[in-house]
Amino acid sequence: MSTSTEILESSIKAFMGSMISLQPEVSDLSKLYWSEVSTDATYTGLAGGAAATYSSKLTKQEIINALTIAEQFVAFFGNTALTQGDYLLNMQGIIHGNDAYTNPGISIAIEDFGARSVELCQNLLQLFKDAKDILDLYFDTEISAAIGALTINEIPWHNFDKVDFLASLTLIENFKKVINNEVAGAGDYGSTVAKWRKII
């Protein structure tokens, strides 16, 4: 049977692996919006509540909400100011969609943006749940006290050191805060993710 520390270690590794994939995806989505979606005359002419994608059934406002979420995580990884918002509510709207645009849709680029936005929000929602589980396991057990008491950088029962371990927890905690409409602290989370590319 796995111990709490083994579960925590594997959970953090999985979470940080997801961060490695998330970082370029949010950047690519933002670029796709500004290069292809925002320049489409049919799209820009739509009212906010009008259907804008066919397969994902997103309204123009939901596309804008998806862009806002993606750009919030571009800021998250880029160590810039973070903005509070009800991202959980917006993510649910994006995941479930509302109204389909006329077949076959406005453009391939807008359909691609819509589909990738749904997938992004599904992934973020799962990661939000994972983050809460990780933090609960860390703070509600003896693990946090044991790590805090260490006077050396090496963690005896982990495959990574104390500095990287605590940096990952800081990232996870602030990731949860962004999604949960809490005040999240900016940090050099991009560098934390870069370190984990070597650890995993």
Mean pLDDT of 74-81: 96
Range of the domain at 94: 4-199
pLDDT at residue 195 greater than cutoff 60: yes
pLDDT of 18 reads 97
pLDDT at residue 157 greater than cutoff 60: no
pLDDT at residue 156 greater than cutoff 60: no
pLDDT at residue 168 greater than cutoff 80: yes
pLDDT of 94 reads 98
pTM of this structure: 0.91
* pLDDT 10s digits, 6-25: 888 899 999 999 999 999 99
Of the two residues 28 and 166, the one the predictor is more confident about is: 28
Average model confidence (pLDDT) across the chain: 91
pLDDT at residue 153 greater than cutoff 80: no
Q: Indicate the SS3 state at residue 57.
A: coil
Pinpoint the alpha helices (H) of the chain: 4-32, 41-44, 60-77, 87-96, 108-139, 143-149, 162-179, 189-199
Q: Into how many domains does the chain fold?
A: 1
* pLDDT 10s digits, 86-120: 999 999 999 999 899 998 999 999 999 999 999 99
**pLDDT-based confidence at residue 135 (cuts at 50, 70, 90):** very high
pLDDT of 162 reads 78
Q: Which residue in 138, 132, 134 sits closest to 176, CA to CA? A: 132
Q: What residue has token string 């983050």?
A: 131
**pLDDT-based confidence at residue 1 (cuts at 50, 70, 90):** very low
* Cα–Cα distance list, 10 to 25, 31, 79, 157 (Å): 23, 33, 26, 12
Residue type, 130: D
pLDDT of 191 reads 94
**pLDDT-based confidence at residue 196 (cuts at 50, 70, 90):** confident
Mean pLDDT of 112-137: 97
